[in-house]
Amino acid sequence: MLRIIMTGGGTAGHINPALAIAAKMRREDPDCEILFVGAKGRMETELVPAAGYKIETIDVRGFQRHITVKNIGRDFAAAYHAVTAGLEAGRIIKEFGPDIAIGTGGYVCGPVLRKAHKMGVPIAVHESNAYPGVTVKMLAGYADAVMIPEESARKYLPADARVTVTGNPLRADFLKYDGQTARKELGLDSRPLILSMGGSLGAERINAVMADIIIKSYRDKGFQHIHATGKRGYAAMAEKLRGNGVPLDGDGIRVRNYITDMPRCMAAADVVITRSGAMTLSELPAMGKPGILIPSPNVAENHQYYNAMALVNKGAALCIEEKDLSDLTVWRALEQMMAPGVRGKMGAAAKSLAILDADNRIYQVVMGVLDI
């Protein structure tokens, strides 16, 4: 019976790929035993059990990148926990006896995979961003396999790393919808649809700018909009739109705090305005959708900018950095995309980057490491 340790966490961008890989392994081998190892108190302690997997936790802290008096103290604590986390990881590995340990990024997977490697367990790591994180770069030098989302990520890794381009595993629903069916189900008319969002918690700047865009296009009747405000942004945006006579649900405008049917909405969209998290690299190409990407400036190593540029450099998206974000810059980008032939060309460029069999590629890499 195959025994697998999965590790990675802190954010959905690390946890969701780990869950997708685990699901693929279980589909191929229903009898395999899978144990997740996460960080105490982090998001994975909720998402992993909810998906039906066992999880053990270790106490591990991330190092601070900005030097302040407070952060120096935090880094001393992180250094202490780096040692104790290795000991905790060693206990878990010894008790579980894995055939392989697979990490998907986040600082928790560092001590787990380092200890697994020292104990003679094969290790594989999957990076979901175009710019690999610190932990993945550190592990890449001795990992038995390193899986990356697209080719441009390779140059940031050691030359002798065992790298394979696999893409990011996608939810099956992103391959289910065609645009015509999605538009019919959503009750849309023939006008172009803009889908916009700023992440699950929202983004104040994006909400403010999109409110102005929605007000303008509602008056012009040029576009339809579906916009997700995030949990914290709905009340403020609703007040602004109502104050300008714009409906929150009607006449081509739909403002929600969260989009629960993202695959359908994205399939229906003509342009997607969004942050450029890891899954953007997979979802927009899979759907063949051009994007206006607004990288978050508040992420480690500015990795969302690199994700955006991976699509921009292939002609599949436009990028507006947050310092340049305004209703004017967004409107100009929309006008550029709506010029004859541009949107279709950019959508085709996005589609050419799609990796639709990422879960199969990842499975083959893992089996190769195990020599099965």
Residue 45 has pLDDT above 50, yes or no: yes
Contact 258, 231 (CB under 8 A): yes
The pLDDT of residue 302:
87
The pLDDT of residue 85:
82
Q: pTM of the prediction?
A: 0.87
The pLDDT of residue 11:
79
Mean of pLDDT values over 147-166: 95
- Is domain 173-352 given the CATH code 3.40.50.261 in the classification? no
Residue 79 has pLDDT above 70, yes or no: no
Residue 77 has pLDDT above 70, yes or no: no
Three-state DSSP at 210 gives helix
Three-state DSSP at 78 gives helix
Q: Which CATH number fits domain 3-170+356-370: 3.40.50.2000, 3.40.50.720, 3.40.190.10, 1.10.1040.10?
A: 3.40.50.2000
The pLDDT of residue 301:
79
98-109 pLDDT, tens digit per residue, is 999 999 998 899
* Residue limits of CATH 3.40.50.2000 in the chain: 3-170+356-370, 173-352
Three-state DSSP at 68 gives coil
**What residue type is assigned to position 184 of the chain?**
K
Q: How confident is the model at residue 14 (pLDDT cuts 50, 70, 90)?
A: confident
Could you give the residue ranges of the DSSP H alpha helices within the chain? 12-28, 44-50, 69-96, 109-118, 134-140, 179-186, 204-220, 234-243, 262-268, 280-287, 303-312, 327-338, 342-352, 358-370
Residue 66 has pLDDT above 80, yes or no: no
Q: How confident is the model at residue 130 (pLDDT cuts 50, 70, 90)?
A: very high
